[in-house]
Chains A and B, each alone.
Chain A
Amino acid sequence: MSRRNIADQLEGVERIREETRICRKYGIDYTVEKGRTMRLVNLLHPQALRLKVGTVIRETKSAATLRMAPVDGYLPPFQAGQYINLFVEIDGVRTSRPYSISSAPHQTGFYDITVRRVENGFVSDYLLDGVGPGDEFESSGPSGNFHYNPLFHEKHMVCLAGGSGVTPFMSMIREVTDRGLDREITLLYGNRREDDIIFHSEMKDRASRFGNFVYRPVISEPSKTCSELTGFINADLIRSVLNDLGSKTFYICGPSQMYEFCIPELEKLGIPKNKVRREMFGQPQDITAEPGWPREVEASTEFKVSVRGGKTLRARAGESLLAALERAGVVVPSLCRCGECSMCRIKLVSGKVFQPRGVLLRQSDREFGYIHSCAAYPLSDLKIML
Chain B
Amino acid sequence: MSGFDAIVIGAGNGGLTAAATLAKGGAKTLLLERHNVPGGCATSFCRGRFEFEVALHQLSGMGDASFPGPLRSVLHGLDVLDRVEFVSMKNLYRLTIPGRLDITLPADRNGTVEALTKRFPAEGKRIKEFYDLVYEFFNQLISVIYMRDPEASSGKYPLYFKYAMASSQDLLDEYFNDPLLKASVAAYWGYMGLPPRYLSFSDLAALIFAYIEFKPYHIRNGSQALSNALIEKFTENGGEVRFNCGAQKIELENGAVSAVVTERGERIPTGCVVANISTPVLYNELIGVEESPKEKYEEMSGRTIGPSSFTLYIGMDCTPAELGIEETTNFIGAHDDFNHAFSQLRDIDEPAMILVSCFNVSDPGASPEGTCQIAVVDLQYLEPWLSIPPSRYAEEKYRYAAKVLDLVERVFPGFRSHIEEIEISTPITHVRYLGHPGGAFYGFDQHIKDSRLINPPVQPISGLFHAGAWAAGGGFQPTLASGASTGRAALKHLGMRGR
Listed in ascending order, the chain A residues whose CB lies under 8 Å from chain B are 1, 3, 6-7, 9-13, 15-17, 19-20, 23-24, 27-31, 33-38, 40-41, 43-45, 76-77, 79, 108, 145, 149-152, 272-274, 309, 332-333, 340, 342-345, 360-365, 367-368, 370, 385-386
Contact = CB atoms under 8 A, between A and B. Distances in A.
B420 A274 contact: yes
B32 to A, nearest CB: 13
Given A31-B284, A333-B244, A274 B454 contact: no
B303 A23 contact: yes
A36 B231 CA distance: 32
25 contacts: A7-B453, A10-B453, A20-B454, A23-B302, A23-B303, A24-B298, A28-B303, A29-B301, A30-B284, A30-B301, A34-B280, A34-B284, A37-B382, A41-B428, A41-B431, A44-B393, A108-B391, A145-B47, A360-B46, A362-B46, A362-B51, A362-B222, A363-B222, A367-B228, A386-B242
Interface in B422-438: 422-423, 428, 431-432, 435, 437-438
B153 A9 contact: yes
B412 interface: no
A151 B420 CA distance: 10
Count chain B CB atoms within 10 A of each CB in A28, A33, A77, A108 and give the residue with the most: A33
Given A27-B301, A34-B284, A40 B165 contact: no
A10 B161 contact: yes
A153 B81 CA distance: 42
B14 to A, nearest CB: 20
A29 B161 CA distance: 34
Contacts of B36: 333, 342-345
A151 B301 contact: no
B225 interface: yes
Contact of A272 (B231, B235, B317): B317
Contacts of A362: 44-46, 51, 221-222, 224
B402 interface: yes
Given A19-B449, A23-B302, A37-B431, A1 B46 contact: no
B301 A24 contact: yes
Interface string B203-238: 000000000000000000110110011011001000
Given A44-B390, A77-B394, A367 B37 contact: no
Contacts of B144: 6
A33 B418 contact: no
A37 B423 contact: no
Given A34-B284, A151-B422, A274-B418, A363 B455 contact: no
Interface in B22-46: 36-37, 44-46
Interface size of B as a range = 35 or more
A85 B448 CA distance: 47
A274 B317 contact: yes
Contacts of B120: none
A35 B147 CA distance: 42
Contacts of A6: 144, 152, 453
Interface string B398-421: 100110010000000000101110
A365 B224 contact: yes
A313 B150 CA distance: 62
B162 interface: yes
Given A9-B153, A20-B449, A31-B284, A363 B221 contact: yes
B2 interface: no
Given A17-B454, A333-B36, A345-B36, A44 B302 contact: no
Nearest to A108: B391
B151 interface: yes
Nearest to B158: A11
B398 A149 contact: yes
A356 to B, nearest CB: 15
B459 interface: no
A151 B419 contact: yes
A8 B302 CA distance: 20
A28 B390 contact: no
Most chain A CB neighbours (cut-off 10 Å) among B231, B235, B453: B453
Contacts of B422: 149, 151-152
Contacts of A27: 300-303
Contact of B240 (A76, A273, A309, A364): A309
Given A7-B453, A13-B454, A43-B390, 20 more contacts: A10-B165, A11-B163, A11-B166, A13-B165, A15-B165, A16-B454, A20-B449, A20-B454, A31-B297, A33-B437, A37-B438, A38-B431, A45-B428, A150-B402, A273-B420, A309-B240, A345-B36, A345-B37, A364-B228, A367-B225
A151 B402 CA distance: 6
Interface string B287-303: 00100000001101111
B240 to A, nearest CB: 7
A35 B297 CA distance: 16
Contacts of B297: 29-31
A76 to B, nearest CB: 6
B288 to A, nearest CB: 10
Contacts of B325: none
A33 B166 CA distance: 32
A35 B37 CA distance: 24
Contacts of A12: 165-166
A7 B300 contact: no
Contacts of A37: 382, 386, 431, 437-438
B302 A364 contact: no
B390 A76 contact: yes
B456 interface: yes
A361 B46 contact: yes
A364 B437 CA distance: 30
B229 A368 contact: yes
Given A31-B284, A145-B47, A368 B228 contact: yes
Contacts of B242: 386
Contacts of A1: 150-153
A380 B216 CA distance: 44
B285 interface: yes
Nearest to B386: A40
A372 to B, nearest CB: 10
B300 A28 contact: yes
Contacts of B302: 20, 23-24, 27
B164 A386 contact: no
Interface in B334-357: none
A37 B432 CA distance: 9
Q: Which 7 A-B pairs have the closest CB atoms?
A: A27-B301, A23-B302, A360-B46, A364-B225, A24-B302, A274-B420, A152-B419
Contacts of B391: 77, 108
B154 interface: yes
